[in-house]
Amino acid sequence: MTKIPRLLKKTVAYWIIWLFVVGQMTLYVVLLGMLCSFIVAWIDLHRSPPPARSFPWVRLFLYVPWLVVQVVKSGLHMTRLILHPKLPIDPQIIPYKPRLRDPAGLVLLGNSITLTPGTITVEIAPDELLVHAIDSRSGEDIVNGTMECRVAQIFERDLHGGR
């Protein structure tokens, strides 16, 4: 495909996204969106494409229900903490050394931790995650490696011996 049709297709795609996000149809907004979309498409046209890699969508969709259950359980635990008269919190920073090496796996692990009430990923580095937990129970799945093992299953990684 030549560059001009690709540039036009990307510009139109970005412009449509712009219109949905902005939600207004004034002449100024439409023209500004067209200009910004063209600039982004032009920049995107000249960047090198990422390496081709298939993504395990089916395994990801099998992970999501487990994560939803964890979010609900953590939400109920947080509710108990908040409604308890003494507010028994014990905030802590947990340094966690992940065995995952896949960058997408590390990002998914960090995002999963942050989505779970009571925990937040403060920092992600290739060799360590810093996780803030509101109490020790909130950090259990991180400390015992349960969440990392679930994420590793998505990317077909056996944490104890490679693939």
Q: Is residue 147 part of a domain?
A: yes
The answer to whether residues 71 and 95 belong to one domain is yes
Looking up tokens 């412009």 gives: 15
The beta strands (E) that lie in the chain are given as: 92-96, 119-125, 128-133
pLDDT in tens, 42-73: 988 877 676 666 778 888 899 999 999 999 99
Q: Using an 8 Å Cβ cutoff, are 33 and 18 in contact?
A: yes
Q: Give the number of residues written for the chain.
A: 163
pLDDT of residue 1: 54
Angle (deg, nearest 10), helices 103-115 and 146-154? 130
Same domain assignment for residues 41 and 80: no
Q: Examine the domain organization and report whether 26 and 76 are in the same domain.
A: no
- Asked if 32 and 64 sit in the same domain, the reply is no
Q: Which residues of the chain have pLDDT under 70?
A: 1, 48, 50-53, 156-163
pLDDT of residue 120: 96
Range of the domain at 71: 57-154
- Identify whether the C-beta of residue 60 lies closer than 8 Å to the C-beta of residue 104: no
Say whether both 130 and 107 belong to one domain: yes
| pLDDT at position 24 | 82
| Secondary element (H or E) of residue 45 | helix 27-45
Question: In this predicted structure, what is the pLDDT of residue 81?
Answer: 93
Helix axes 57-83, 146-154, angle to 10 degrees: 160
Backbone φ and ψ of 99, nearest 5°? -95, -10
- What is residue 50's predicted lDDT score, i.e. its pLDDT? 66
> Which pLDDT belongs to residue 163?
44
Residue 104 has which token pair?
A: 């997408």
The CA-atom distances, in angstroms, between 26 and each of 16, 22, 31, 138 are 14, 10, 9, 48
* pLDDT at position 159: 61
Distance of CA 78 to the CA centre of its chain: 22
Q: Tokens 């803030």 correspond to what residue?
A: 132
Residue 13 in tokens: 């795609």
